Structure 1
Amino acid sequence: MKTFFTALFVLILTGITLNAQETFPVNGAHDERANFYFLTNGTIHINPDEIVENASLVIRNGKIVSVTSETSVPDGAIVKDLDGKHVYPSFIELSTTYGIPAATMKGPRPSKQEFSSGKKGAFSWNESLIPEYDASTEFDHDEKAAAALRKIGFGTVLTHRDNGIVQGSGVLTTLQNDRPHKTILNPRASSHLAFSKAKTYQSPPSSQMGMIALLRQFYLNAEWYEMAGKNETTNLSLAAWRNLKNLPQFFAVRNKLEVLRAARIAQEYNNVYIIRGTGDEYQRAAEIAQTGMPLIIPVNYPKAYDVEDPLDGDLVSLAQMKHWEWAPKNLAVLAEHNIPFAITSDLLDDKKQFLTHVRKAIQYGLDEKSAMHALTTTPAQWLGEEDRLGQLKEGFLANFLITDQPIFESGAKILENWIQGVPDVIQSPDSDLADQKFDFTLDHASFEATINRKANKITLVSPDSTKLEGTVREELDRITFLIKTKSGDYLRLLGYRSENGDIKGTYQDGSGDQKSFQAVLQEKESSDKKPAKDSMEVITPMTYPFTAYGRPALPDQRTVVIENATVWTNTDRGIRTNTDVLIQDGKIAKVGNVRAPSDAIHIDGTDMHLTPGIIDEHSHIAINNGVNEGTLASSAAVRIGDVLNSEDINIYRQLAGGVTTSQLLHGSANPIGGQSALIKLRWGAPPEDLKFEGADPFIKFALGENVKQSNWGEQNTVRFPQTRMGVEQVLEDHFTRALEYGDKKDRGIPYRKDLEMETLLEILNGERFITCHSYVQSEINMLMHLAERYDFRVNTFTHILEGYKVADKMKEHGVAGSTFSDWWAYKYEVIDAIPYNAAIMHDVGVLTALNSDDAEMARRLNTEAAKTIKYGGLTEEEALKLVTLNPAKMLHIDDRVGSIEKGKDGDVVLWNAHPLSIVASAQKVFIDGRLYFDREKNAKEEEAIAQERNRLIQAMIRVKKGGSPTQKAERTPEEEYHCDD
């Protein structure tokens, strides 16, 4: 058997030598050393599940020959006694830009907007789509960055250039201090993407929804190019994508909601993204788990905020405070949800804290094996490198760490990091003298001596408390001391350590006389039991969203009877007093005298008013990272539904104002805007669950000053259109092209799927409906005439402050008007606005509503509606319908909401007074029969929030006083948008 092992050993080494031929000329004598090592007497962690004690590791030419219990030294091997130390596979970093130069802007900044790519060559029209970028062509070893990564345990890294949406390929390399030719393991190991605009002066995209639309269209273009497009045109970017699409796809995001957005793109195009998160994924772990996407997770825990000053404390939101407490538990939560993950040092301000933070995650519940898998075997598998990375097995690269104790123990040190068989000494192990105590005898004087943690200083204390101090130095088997006496003389001691740890030797006093000394090692109290690791727990409960007024779970859908209320039915039954309403299974089951089921919750509505939930036809709340993709004349491909922000506090605030449904619109920066999203204000639900199920799709169009960029400054005088006449031409052109596109589809001619044309074709086919931002009567007339020429109808004119001038024409066309109650004079094109506008349109027979277009106004749409009683003489019922039934009709959802009648959704509001009164406030707001807002509970929540803030503030002050670093308290502004943002 031993003969077989020896033969195999020689064969392996011969093979390695043959495959490691030098391709560079050598200036001088060739160095053909085989880096042949025999490391013995160690605890070898082959992988997180296999550990071999008292084992030996044989490596040669950068690879592992064997892990064995053999103790005989192979001929020619350099022997290293590990003395019981631990050996682990080096970590693998999946998210870094190591060795890759950062992208920079090219050339001087242009004086005007740039719409086309400035890149030379037959590449993508958009400079943020760069699949042709090959990181290996620019990669170079960066020893400073490599050393920093080696010190915290990494031996191999995947590196790329962080620039753009489609960023090109990444390089897999070791961190050995050598030429890239020797360290690169795979020059094209991965494909990288991100929600990130490239370093470019090109204007589009300007929003995250624009980035998503651009990426979706890129995938479609690539498919077409594979099939037929390459016969019609040359596109080097799409051609380059062929080489990347089957590689591991890495996608960088900035928060937990972006994880879900990236996952939806992957699912749409049958991909799997390995998503680099930011550390807040625990806040939506259940939804992330459902995507099936693996994650790369940083351990970038925030520092406590400096909140000693009460005014500083007011700057920090409850969400920020809670995240400070919860962040270390993120990895444990992901593990509980069976989400596959790797761990990265990316996003850490101080990479030296990496292992400390991983250990902290273990204290908060992460299993040690899971942590080690996430640093070794998991990233190796994702890269397809599981046959040579991530474990210590025969044939694997000799990338390993040597530690003085188990690596996740507090205080454990990485002593060496071997990469491709080359050792890098990170730090020396602690001396055996460290923290030792001795009974010290100098001639006839006795002392108790203590050597400090670093084993370089000694303190001697006599029975009469006389204290002497000195230095310690170790060299080979000798130990020397230099001790200062009270007289100022120095004693020079030279000693040798015996096997039992005692030190004996001689010293010279200040007179030069030589005397003897000895130091007898004191026995430490031994304990066979290892001290248990402190486990940490968070106190703040998990809520959805993870902010003030969040809830641990969505409200239950209960059977509810609201009794003896004044019910505004919005039907021909009018306003009914002393009436009951039964809500069951999320629907209104009965209006009238109700015999309540036994399981019903009874709510006394005496002296209270019950109305349908308010519907805001025009809103911009709950949107992330831009409301306008206004860089081009048409952004029909973008979708507000791609960037819903379920965590926006305005959802809760507007619930408190009785709003239950909102249409979230693209802004008014271009003639053809983006696709809108209709949501119910289900506070606590994830983004996709906010969407109003089965609702007809809408799109935002715009006319007027914003579209022609009247007030955008001299920089923005290039994009067509620049006049109101040009707006009409844009619409004519796009609808003509959509007709041609539809004709090609109908005739079965091969075509490239175009998301913009698909959307416009839906309008022409009556499958998608226009809500148009408008002010001036001439443009209102223009769009109605244009729509009639293309045989469709405009659904709604929103704002429409000159609607009273053209109400008869609107009625004839069949278009609705959603307006403001009394806004005017905020720009020139509203100079003719009057507060009677809504009443005049209503009286002419136009379906009329009032909207907010403003996060604050939406909380009081009921009183906005009341103004039409003063300005125009509408009845109370007609006024309330302006914000309930009428917008429901505009949005084609009046079969579900807008009135209180049997079969409608249980979206109702219970007011404490007449709903059009300025003193009325919503007491209870139901959506789908679930109680989403309760004013009585809200008061208790405010008390709980105050208590929770105080507890967290006290915890952060204690952390600061304990010596931990803190960060400055700064307010994070809320993300709010208007039409022209």
Structure 2
Amino acid sequence: MLTSALLAGSSVKAQATFPVNGITDTREGCYAFVKATIVKSPGVVLNNATLVIRDGRIVSAGGGPVPKDAVVVNCEGRYIYPSFVDLYSDYGTPPVKKASGGYRAAPQFISTTKGAFGWNQAVKSEVNAASVFSKDERTAESLRNAGFGAVLTHQQDGIARGTGVLVTLANERENKTVIREKASTHYSFDKGSSTQNYPSSLMGSIALLRQTFLDAQWYQSHPAKEGANLTLQAWNDSRSLPQIFEVQDKWDVLRADKIGDEFGVQYIIKAAGNEYQRMPEMVATKASFILPLNFPQPIDVEDPNEARFVALSDMKHWELAPTEPAAFEKANIPFCFTAAGLKDIKQFTAAVRKAIDAGLSEQKALEAVTLAPARILKAEDLVGTLDAGKLANFLVTSGPVFNESTVIYQNWIQGQQYNIKDDGWKDIRGTYTLSVGNTSYNVLIKGTASAPALSLLQQDTLAGSVTLEGQLVKLSFPLKKGGTQVRLSGVAGGQEWDGTGLDTTGKWVKWHAVFNAAYTPKDSTKSKTPQQPGKLYYPFNGYGWEEQPKQQDLLIRNATVWTNEQEGKLENTDVLVRNGKIVQIGKNLAAGNARVIDGTGKHLTAGIIDEHSHIAISRGVNEGTQSVTAEVRIADVINPDDVNIYRQLSGGVTASHLLHGSANTIGGQSQLIKLRWGADAEELKFAGADPFIKFALGENVKQSNWGDNQKERFPQTRMGVEQILTDAFTRALDYEKLGADKRKDLELETLLEILHSKRFVTCHSYVQSEINMLIKTADKFNFRINTFTHILEGYKVADKMKQHGAGAGTFSDWWAYKMEVQDAIPYNATIMQRAGLTVAVNSDDAEMARRLNQEAAKSIRYGDMTEEEALKLVTLNPAKLLHVADRTGSIKAGKDADLVLWSDDPLSIYAKAEKTIVDGIVYFDREKDLELRQRISTERNRLVQKMLAEKKKGTPVQKAAATAEEMYHCEDLQGGHQRGLKGGENEL
């Protein structure tokens, strides 16, 4: 034990800057920790070494003379490590309350923050953590006890969160513990405590970040035009600092990285914990990562009725999450650990051990809590290793720091000692020769330093007990099983102990013990074999691939081919696919090296294209907080893990047009994707397709059904919708006239793309009067409405739409679900088609999209449309509306091999998609699907048994719960309509 004597050794060094009520103590502490095993840095271990510190700094670590004025601390049998560093903490910052209310609360359009700050409360780049930091000794103590000596802390609130401050956990005034005032700057996609409406969606958060980058750039060169803006000034001032971005999901990593690439920023990513599912993409970001260790608990699956709702992906994540650090090590990605997210900081080292058990090397684990965070933060001059000149932040332990039995005795921070566990500092474990009277025994003391255990070594090893209180030692042991105890007490004087006691006959005896050799505990971190968990799936879903599918040449032989071209329907015909393209259509084609698929008795069509979809979108389909949000992009929020991609492949869908919702007059930019199940967001995008945007008219736009509080956002009437459109395009034209030296406005840039026919409009619409209004407004500004979607009164104005050059995407027979659709009729599609319009039937619904072939067939019943024209409603016509008919939508040589092989006539309710092919890759195969269902069942059962075993061992478990899916429609606001449930025995 170190005592108050450690305060000896001093010399006058620094002047006091704070007044002292009493006598000023200007002594500096000089200490020499000798005979220690010093782990100077990961992989650099010094045996029987000396650590010298003075005035809170390290003087040397290794050999050399001990200073004359040093207090010498004998650390024989002890280990010394650098104290841990955490880069993601909110230690000492004010607690922040999340925003509440949402759409049912009265809207707030502009920040209410007082002062010369920016317009949006979610952007708080002016916050300086050093200014709000206040020492919290209770929290500091818990962090010290877990091994931490320094943390990077910031106020975890908002999209731009201001600067972080690097502080030590010393129990000193803030001015002494702050070691780097502005050490980092922080971001997220979470608006935090902002009560402002915008943004209400993930795509809105991304758009706000993007626009703020542009505004800050402009402000830097035009401060006089903007006026004072402390938010933008702080944003610019902190650009040179390490930039840390917190994410909620592996796909958020790629979203943040893309923004960083746009503006020349390399973010440090505070990870979500599921990045192991997409390691190639993580490598491609070239980012450093801060990895949390809050691995999920096993799920309580004892009740089968509850367990059946748990998604297989949740079960697999429980098993695979601890492998994330090992995956990062294997991929050679720089990373460090954070305690953020742990319910109990005491579990930190146990969580590190769990990662080690899952394959992480011990050296990399140590690096992740010492050198790596220092290096990532560019604070290697201060912390992370035990090099001369750095802060004297170090741990004194009983053994290897991640060994399960190791005790952290002390945590020294800035040269100050903090006792963590007093008992066990004097480690008496080892082998002894014990003489009792005239008899000698061999004794082994093992266990832990704080809880030693005695064994008498003879033919039958016998267990005894030993206790040490200060210098007083007590021993007891039997000489035979069940025999009388020898009871001894005395003084432990280093290498030799002496005392008196009673032998087995009750006779007083003298005893003497001589220390022979130290006990070396078995390293529990090395004794365990890394887990062999289940395989990764791509996507991380029961129906994901173990390996991504590869393109192959195909010959579909002897099918009924619906070409959608002049050739019409061809019986007993072959289609040859090479390199993802249709190369030949005919009879008895040579297969060559192509895989042959027997189409006898089956039907082959072009893949179904859903012109109006809301699948595969993350965290909100509407940014409905403003009347015009042309700056937001569905492309930013694609969710490749959405099981609806697979489900719709099973219904023959090969492409989907992902639209913003209908909450505002001019909504966000849409994204056309191909359903390449297993691909990432960029690979899903239909490359080279023309860009589109979503407009809306009617009840949703004027907020008829938004509640009584929503009476402030303009427009509130259908007349106001026209004025919003006129105002938006007038502003865009005025903006264009400002010339090159203007502040780039992403909203207005997008509107100019429309005016210059570089972006095309899809408009949510119902009532004929509004359809007429929008046509006239578009004519006034000399642009065209590409597609009126829904358009349930289109049959009334088909002639005007034809004259304007618009197409139509409609439902087959949906009506009566709100007031403005009362005049809908099932003959709508046929009437518009006969008027000469390009007409598509779409879904606006994840479930309906699986049956679009049947939706198309309804127009045969309602209007006597021909079979081939009906099929075009969901294939060639949507391709035409989306400007991709030259690449897909029909079976023609040179087009993309987006094909569906049906078991029956594709317009029959009995038809099943047996194989769905995109770019020549079979993404859905009904026979393979049956195998996957069996795999799901087997994998679920394996994981259930594993979780039951964990519960039986006493491991804490979490309650079984279903995971809600994000499933959206046009009208869904703020997070959307989570209707589906992931999980069950069958995820399809």
Normalised by the size of structure 1, how large is the TM-score? 0.93
Contact 1:302 1:327 in 2 (8 A): yes
What's the counterpart of residue 495 of structure 1? Answer: 490
Does the C-alpha gap of structure 1 residues 660 and 528 become closer, same or farther in structure 2, counting only changes over 3 Å? closer
Aligned AA for 2:572? Answer: N
What's the counterpart of residue 936 of structure 1? Answer: 927
Does the C-alpha gap of structure 1 residues 729 and 499 become closer, same or farther in structure 2, counting only changes over 3 Å? closer
In structure 2, C-alpha distance between the alignment counterparts of 1:947 and 1:298, rounded to whole Å: 30
Where 1:34 maps in the other structure, the secondary structure is coil
Does the C-alpha gap of structure 1 residues 370 and 491 become closer, same or farther in structure 2, counting only changes over 3 Å? closer
Q: Is 1:850 the equivalent of 2:841?
A: yes
What's the counterpart of residue 869 of structure 1? Answer: 860
List alignment gaps of at least 5 residues for structure 1: 1-12
Does the C-alpha gap of structure 1 residues 521 and 132 become closer, same or farther in structure 2, counting only changes over 3 Å? closer
Where 2:52 maps in the other structure, the secondary structure is strand
Which of 82, 86, 89 aligns to 2:82? It is 89
What's the counterpart of residue 35 of structure 2? Answer: 41
Q: Is 1:332 the equivalent of 2:323?
A: no
Provide the aligned length of Structure 1 versus Structure 2. 959
Does the C-alpha gap of structure 1 residues 302 and 816 become closer, same or farther in structure 2, counting only changes over 3 Å? same
Q: Is 1:819 the equivalent of 2:810?
A: yes
Contact 2:475 2:489 in 1 (8 A): yes
What's the counterpart of residue 982 of structure 2? Answer: none
Aligned AA for 2:85? Answer: I
Where 1:744 maps in the other structure, the secondary structure is coil
Q: Is 1:545 the equivalent of 2:536?
A: no
Deviation (angstroms), 1:441: 6.5
What's the counterpart of residue 142 of structure 1? Answer: 136
Which of 62, 66, 71 aligns to 1:78? It is 71
Where 2:190 maps in the other structure, the secondary structure is coil
In structure 2, C-alpha distance between the alignment counterparts of 1:56 and 1:193, rounded to whole Å: 42
What's the counterpart of residue 903 of structure 1? Answer: 894
Does the C-alpha gap of structure 1 residues 430 and 937 become closer, same or farther in structure 2, counting only changes over 3 Å? farther
Contact 2:572 2:587 in 1 (8 A): no
Please give the residue correspondences for 1:221-232 in structure 2 after superposition, counting only pairs within 5 Å: 221-232=215-226
Q: Is 1:800 the equivalent of 2:794?
A: no
Q: Is 1:629 the equivalent of 2:623?
A: yes
In structure 2, C-alpha distance between the alignment counterparts of 1:554 and 1:459, rounded to whole Å: 58
In structure 1, C-alpha distance between the alignment counterparts of 2:266 and 2:247, rounded to whole Å: 15
Deviation (angstroms), 1:889: 0.2
Q: Is 1:120 the equivalent of 2:114?
A: yes
Contact 2:631 2:750 in 1 (8 A): yes
Q: Is 1:160 the equivalent of 2:154?
A: yes
In structure 2, C-alpha distance between the alignment counterparts of 1:526 and 1:424, rounded to whole Å: 26
In structure 2, C-alpha distance between the alignment counterparts of 1:597 and 1:906, rounded to whole Å: 16
Q: Report which stretch shifted further, 433-442 or 158-167.
A: 433-442
- RMSD (Å), alpha carbons: 3.1
Aligned AA for 1:91? Answer: F
Per-residue deviation, residues 926-969 of structure 1 (Å, max 9, x unmatched): 10000100000110111011001100110111111122111111
Deviation (angstroms), 1:475: 2.4
Where 1:162 maps in the other structure, the secondary structure is coil
Q: Is 1:204 the equivalent of 2:195?
A: no
Please give the residue correspondences for 1:542-621 in structure 2 after superposition, counting only pairs within 5 Å: 542-621=536-615
Q: Report which stretch shifted further, 285-294 or 885-894.
A: 285-294
Please give the residue correspondences for 1:43-442 in structure 2 after superposition, counting only pairs within 5 Å: 43-70=37-64, 72-104=65-97, 112-428=106-422, 429=424, 432=427
Deviation (angstroms), 1:239: 1.6
Does the C-alpha gap of structure 1 residues 444 and 403 become closer, same or farther in structure 2, counting only changes over 3 Å? closer
What's the counterpart of residue 961 of structure 1? Answer: 952
Does the C-alpha gap of structure 1 residues 425 and 778 become closer, same or farther in structure 2, counting only changes over 3 Å? same
Please give the residue correspondences for 1:962-981 in structure 2 after superposition, counting only pairs within 5 Å: 962-981=953-972
In structure 2, C-alpha distance between the alignment counterparts of 1:491 and 1:365, rounded to whole Å: 47
In structure 1, C-alpha distance between the alignment counterparts of 2:182 and 2:440, rounded to whole Å: 71
Contact 1:443 1:516 in 2 (8 A): no
Per-residue deviation, residues 633-691 of structure 1 (Å, max 9, x unmatched): 01100000001000000000000000000000000000000000100000000111100
Q: Is 1:686 the equivalent of 2:677?
A: no
Aligned AA for 1:864? Answer: E
Q: Report which stretch shifted further, 690-699 or 402-411.
A: 402-411
Contact 1:581 1:594 in 2 (8 A): no
Contact 1:496 1:505 in 2 (8 A): no
Per-residue deviation, residues 158-190 of structure 1 (Å, max 9, x unmatched): 100011101111111111110011110111111
Deviation (angstroms), 1:92: 1.3
Deviation (angstroms), 1:533: 2.9
Deviation (angstroms), 1:388: 2.5
Per-residue deviation, residues 864-896 of structure 1 (Å, max 9, x unmatched): 000000011100001000000000000000001
Contact 2:100 2:195 in 1 (8 A): no
Q: Is 1:916 the equivalent of 2:907?
A: yes
In structure 2, C-alpha distance between the alignment counterparts of 1:62 and 1:529, rounded to whole Å: 32
In structure 2, C-alpha distance between the alignment counterparts of 1:200 and 1:588, rounded to whole Å: 53
Does the C-alpha gap of structure 1 residues 670 and 184 become closer, same or farther in structure 2, counting only changes over 3 Å? same
In structure 2, C-alpha distance between the alignment counterparts of 1:35 and 1:521, rounded to whole Å: 33
Per-residue deviation, residues 239-284 of structure 1 (Å, max 9, x unmatched): 2222211111111111101011000000000101111002111111
Aligned AA for 2:467? Answer: V
Aligned AA for 1:946? Answer: S
Where 2:220 maps in the other structure, the secondary structure is helix
Contact 2:649 2:923 in 1 (8 A): yes
Q: Is 1:834 the equivalent of 2:825?
A: yes
Per-residue deviation, residues 281-309 of structure 1 (Å, max 9, x unmatched): 11111011111111111111111111111
Q: Is 1:884 the equivalent of 2:884?
A: no
In structure 1, C-alpha distance between the alignment counterparts of 2:811 and 2:74, rounded to whole Å: 82
Q: Is 1:772 the equivalent of 2:763?
A: yes
Where 2:738 maps in the other structure, the secondary structure is helix
Deviation (angstroms), 1:751: 0.5
Where 2:654 maps in the other structure, the secondary structure is strand
In structure 1, C-alpha distance between the alignment counterparts of 2:523 and 2:101, rounded to whole Å: 68
What's the counterpart of residue 704 of structure 2? Answer: 710
What's the counterpart of residue 472 of structure 1? Answer: 467
Does the C-alpha gap of structure 1 residues 902 and 128 become closer, same or farther in structure 2, counting only changes over 3 Å? same
Where 2:676 maps in the other structure, the secondary structure is coil
In structure 1, C-alpha distance between the alignment counterparts of 2:867 and 2:435, rounded to whole Å: 98
Deviation (angstroms), 1:457: 8.7
Deviation (angstroms), 1:58: 1.1
Does the C-alpha gap of structure 1 residues 49 and 661 become closer, same or farther in structure 2, counting only changes over 3 Å? same
Contact 2:431 2:442 in 1 (8 A): no
Per-residue deviation, residues 324-369 of structure 1 (Å, max 9, x unmatched): 1111110111122222111111111222111122122223222233
Per-residue deviation, residues 825-883 of structure 1 (Å, max 9, x unmatched): 11011111111111111111111010000000000000000000001110000100000
Deviation (angstroms), 1:516: 4.6
Deviation (angstroms), 1:520: 9.3
Contact 2:432 2:442 in 1 (8 A): no
Contact 1:795 1:814 in 2 (8 A): yes
Does the C-alpha gap of structure 1 residues 531 and 589 become closer, same or farther in structure 2, counting only changes over 3 Å? closer
Deviation (angstroms), 1:372: 2.4
In structure 2, C-alpha distance between the alignment counterparts of 1:831 and 1:370, rounded to whole Å: 66
Deviation (angstroms), 1:423: 1.3
In structure 2, C-alpha distance between the alignment counterparts of 1:264 and 1:974, rounded to whole Å: 25
Aligned AA for 1:968? Answer: K
Does the C-alpha gap of structure 1 residues 854 and 74 become closer, same or farther in structure 2, counting only changes over 3 Å? same
List alignment gaps of at least 5 residues for structure 2: 1-9, 973-988
Per-residue deviation, residues 110-137 of structure 1 (Å, max 9, x unmatched): 9621111111112111100111111111
Contact 1:92 1:379 in 2 (8 A): yes
Deviation (angstroms), 1:527: 11
In structure 1, C-alpha distance between the alignment counterparts of 2:953 and 2:432, rounded to whole Å: 29
Deviation (angstroms), 1:84: 3.5
Deviation (angstroms), 1:52: 2.0
In structure 1, C-alpha distance between the alignment counterparts of 2:710 and 2:437, rounded to whole Å: 87
In structure 1, C-alpha distance between the alignment counterparts of 2:523 and 2:419, rounded to whole Å: 31
Contact 1:472 1:482 in 2 (8 A): no
Aligned AA for 1:781? Answer: N
Q: Report which stretch shifted further, 225-234 or 519-528.
A: 519-528
Deviation (angstroms), 1:231: 3.1
In structure 2, C-alpha distance between the alignment counterparts of 1:599 and 1:33, rounded to whole Å: 85
